[in-house]
Amino acid sequence: MNILDIRSSAPRHRTKLPTLRAISGIRQIVLHHGMTRRGLGGTNYEAYCRFHTQTNNWSVGGYTYGVEPDGVIKWGYDWNIQTPHVGNSNRHSLGIVSPGDFRFEEPTTVQYQRALELVNWLLPQLPNCDKVIGHQEVPGYAWKNCPAFSMNQFRADLQRVQQGETLDEEEVYFNMKLTKVEQSAVVSMLELWTDEKRYSNALQKSWLNRAKAGELTVRDAVRIQYEAQRRGIR
């Protein structure tokens, strides 16, 4: 795993000094997505940090690290610098952002893999850090769909990485949750395909319930399509 150290050039406010903290006080790593579509101008780690310092008037950017779509990991700020990303929990949290809007697109497989590797590398070096959570899991942020991918899946994958396993790209892809747009399309299909009045061999309603709850993965979508084709449902 290679980390691009840009701490000497990462955006900072021209007059405000950052808030410092003890590294021993970091208790959790918090994952974010940037909420800007991949490929658009401004969808990268430095652009987020410039927005934070120049527009939001923050002393530093909101995240210690950024994991770009091409897999490049950027290190912007020392661990003892308290970056503003989770309100009252900033002092005890280290923030990592993955540029992209994962409500509508998935992380690239290399981006997801590098995020796993980065967290796996960080944990042993932060003496009191024992939690890996998403932004929406921080108290007070349940309303925020961030990082908009399954943290339960991420933690399960992290455990496997910690045990020395290597996750291949295909496995990472099929374990990804469908995006909001994809889930909506599957819901529309399943409302037909689970209709027992329309089809005597309709698919199980549980698929529709999971789709409405936003729980389906790419693997689930492939299985649904296979089951529909096998039963001759169109």
Contact between residue 203 and residue 193 where contact means Cβ atoms under 8 Å apart: yes
- Cα separations (Å) of 139 from 10, 35, 142, 148, 208? 28, 20, 7, 16, 30
Buried b (16+ CB within 10 A) or exposed e, 95-114: bbbbbbbbbebbbbbbbbbb
Q: Are residues 11 and 113 in the same domain?
A: yes
What pLDDT, on a 0 to 100 scale, did the predictor assign at position 166? 82
pLDDT of residue 99: 98
Domain identity same for 67 and 111: yes
Q: Are 119 and 67 in contact (CB under 8 A)?
A: no
- What is the distance between the alpha carbons of residues 208 and 195, in angstroms, rounded to a whole number? 10
Residue 63 CA, chain-centre distance (Å), reads: 13
Q: Comparing 39 with 116, which gets the higher pLDDT?
A: 116
Domain count, the chain: 2
CATH number at residue 29: 3.40.80.10
Domain annotation covers residue 175:
no
DSSP 8-state symbol, 54: I
- Same domain, yes or no: 189 and 81: no
pLDDT of residue 170: 81
Identify whether residues 141 and 79 lie together within a single domain: yes
The position carrying tokens 């070096």 is 125
Model confidence over 64-109: pLDDT tens digits?
A: 999 999 999 999 999 999 999 999 999 999 999 999 999 999 999 9
- Tell me, what's the pLDDT at 126? 97
pLDDT reading at 198 higher than 90: no
pLDDT at 51 (0 to 100): 97
Each residue's pLDDT tens digit, 118-176: 999 999 999 999 999 999 999 999 999 999 999 999 999 999 999 998 887 787 888 88
Looking at the structure, tell me whether residues 100 and 193 fall in a common domain.
Answer: no
Q: Identify whether residues 128 and 187 lie together within a single domain.
A: no
Domain that holds residue 123: 3-170
Q: Is a pLDDT exceeding 80 seen at residue 234?
A: no
> 169-196, pLDDT tens digit by residue?
787 888 888 888 888 899 998 998 999 9
Please state the length of the chain: 234
| pLDDT number for residue 160 | 93
Q: Are residues 126 and 221 in the same domain?
A: no
**193, 81: one domain:** no
* 72 and 38, same domain (yes or no): yes
In Å, how far are 80, 151, 154 from 176, measured between CA atoms?
Answer: 33, 11, 9
pLDDT, one tens digit per residue, over 18-63 is: 999 999 999 999 999 999 999 898 999 999 999 999 999 999 999 9
pLDDT number for residue 147: 96
For residue 41, the model assigns a pLDDT of: 86
CA 21 to centroid of chain Cα atoms: 25
15 and 107 both lie in a single domain? yes
213 in the same domain as 129: no
The last residue of a domain, from among 137, 170, 203 = 170
Strands 73-75 and 65-67: antiparallel
